Structure 1
Amino acid sequence: MTSHSKEAEEPVRSNPTGRQLRFGAELRRLRERAGLNATEAGQLMGIKQTQVSNMEAGRVGVSAERVRALACHYGCSDKALIEALSDMTTERSRGWWEEYRGILSGGLIDLAEMEHHAMLLRAGVTAHVPGLLQIHDHAREVFRQVVPELSPPDIEHRLSFRIKRQAILFKDSPTPYQAIIHEAALRMQFGGVAVTRRQLRHILDMSERAHITVHVIPFVAGAYPGSGQSILYAQGPVPQLDTVHLDQSHGSALIDAEAQLDKYRVLLKRMKGIALGAKESREFIHTIVQEL
């Protein structure tokens, strides 16, 4: 049996993950850049149009061999992208976040999956301490302010999920993490003065780790682009596989369109440009702690 026919017999996924959807979207982009429709692509590969559509929708598995064959038929010569997509086909194990599927929103599940696979994470926030740097008591108070109000069990589910996400910063080869935090977020007293003091000290402790950098934008820096939203930029193995996560009041969103990725690269660059340096930022946070 050939690898093509074997793939054709794979069961169709009813609920592909965010990463599987992203993988399929990249296959679709390759096809569209080649100027082919799904029927034409299927004819080149000797498969049905529905199989092409299922691959591009993340509904069926795709082998590394098929990825390379598709790239060849589509005239894609970007070896780094082809290898990055091929590597994605080897991921078969279920991540820890899957145990929360059906309990928390799909957007949160996709966020944890995105963070887990990121080569580098960059955050830019104005009103909240980044989730990966929040302590238990601070995070619990954040969840208590959610509208509509969460039940105590829902709060605990979200809290445990947030803390498990932070494991990427403590593993043997931790994910590099850069956070740009506005002074407003540092002065928000979620849970009162004592909790705020512990939260700021935790940020200071984390910023001393070699793979974590914290920059503060003080009030005196004035206006800056991107101030109205929380941005988490996940860098992939190649720029085409980067992803932006936006945390908004009506829910979260994952963005991967090339023009939008360029926009958020620029926003984060400009935010960092007006922020204090790492050493100055730690001194600034120390000052806030002393004022509490």
Structure 2
Amino acid sequence: MGLRANATQRQRRLGVELRRLRDVGGLSVAEAASFAGLGAPHLGHIEAARTAIPEAKIRALAAAYGCQNESLVDGLVAMGASTGRGWWSDYRKVLSADALDLAELEASCAGCKTFQWLYVPGVLQTPEYTRALFKGGEPEASPQTMELSVEFRQHRQRMLTGGSLTAFHAVIHEAALHMQFVGAEVMRRQVEHLVEMARLPHVCIEILPFKAAAYPAPFGAPFVVFEGAVPELNTVYVEHPISSPFVSGQAQLAQFSDAFSRLSAVALPPIDLRVEPEFHVRKDSLGLIQHLLYAP
């Protein structure tokens, strides 16, 4: 079997995590490879995500590294066993690898936490809102390409409405609800859709108001924290034009997770339709949304 030319984010992450564990265990590539019955070049290819690794070899390496976190090892085995195929596979020839990696992460994560300050998060968007964004951001795209992108983004919402019911927590800056580049009626329907999505028991939506006492995140780019089987396998997706939008370093994961916790702490209480309407006086996220919808 030949070496991979284009590894997915999942495959790259597995290699990075195996290398991290080897570094923690203090073993060279040659020493680690001998424990698992591999050649040093073969293990090098595995850590570089250029080739696959069977379950037995993953467990042998974990034992050699002294890793006693069974949940972490099971998570690595699951990553190695995954085929990476899903509904997103139908788009391989037309969309970017990052878009496909994002869809795979959404389909496999245990939980998702997202912060947005300019747009409504993609998996909460209505088709009309998404279409308006693409028309404004990519005016030269063909109608076919645009509709395909809208369709893809709608399919991504399966993480919220499909069988897995992934725990989803969004902090959205109030600024995103005031943007007029999608048109007033489109925005109104989008805001109403946010309220409807908040009815789902596994969805939490909070609004960070303009009048928040502080902006606690140390960076301005929107981001998504995808929770893995264990915290060590979390992945952060940063919406920024950098070479790779995915972050997996342990120190960086902790930084983004902490930033999201602080953003949530200063945001308004989440949209909760169980609270009596008269108590929503802009003291929580639903109250602010109602003000935006019905204020003259």
TM-score (norm 2): 0.90
Q: Count residues with an aligned counterpart.
A: 283
Q: Which runs of 5+ in 2 are unaligned?
A: 273-283
C-alpha separation in 2, matches of 1:251 and 1:116: 23
Secondary structure of 1:237 counterpart: coil
Measured against aligned partners, the alpha-carbon deviations of 1:201-254 in whole angstroms (never above 9, x if no partner) come to 000000111010110111111440336211111011100000110112467600
2:15 counterpart (1, 21, 24): 24
Q: CA deviation at 1:267?
A: 0.7
Letter aligned with residue 14 of structure 1: A
Measured after TM superposition, the shift of residue 87 of structure 1 is 2.3
Distance change >3 Å, CA 213–CA 171, structure 1 → 2: same
Deviations 1:112-151 (A, max 9, x none): 1111111010111111100010001111111123268433
- Stretch deviating more after TM superposition (133-142 or 36-45): 36-45
- CA separation of 1:149 and 1:199: change in aligned 2, threshold 3 A: same
- For 1:232 and 1:256, locate their aligned partners in 2 and report how far apart those are by CA, in whole Å: 12
The alignment status of 1:105 with 2:109, answered yes or no, reads no
* Corresponding position of 1:3: none
Aligned to 1:7: none
Calculate the aligned-residue CA RMSD, in Å. 1.8
Partner of 1:237: 229
Instruction: Report what 2:129 is aligned to.
Output: 138
Give the Å deviation of 1:71: 0.8
**Structure-2 change in CA distance of 1:44 and 1:252 (3 Å):** closer
Shift in Å at residue 45 of structure 1?
2.6
Q: 1:42 offset after TM fit, Å?
A: 2.0
Percentage identity across paired residues of the two chains:
36
CA contact (8 A) 1:232 1:244 kept: yes
**Contact 1:190–1:196, Cα closer than 8 Å, also in 2:** no
Query: SS of the residue aligned with 1:181?
Result: strand
* Cα offset, 1:47, TM superposition: 2.0
Give the aligned residue type for 2:20.
Answer: R
Contact map agreement 1:136 1:163 (CA 8 A) in 2: yes
| Unaligned stretches of 5+ residues in structure 1 | 1-9
- SS of alignment partner, residue 157 of structure 2: helix
The residue correspondences of 1:1-292 to structure 2 (distance < 5 A) are 10-92=1-83, 94-146=85-137, 149-226=140-217, 228-249=220-241, 253-278=245-270, 279=272, 280-291=284-295
Q: TM-score, normalised by structure 1?
A: 0.91
Amino acid at match of 1:48: G
Q: In structure 2, what is the Cα distance between the partners aligned to 1:96 and 1:210? A: 25
* In structure 2, distance between residues paired with 1:230 and 1:95: 26
Amino acid at match of 2:42: Q
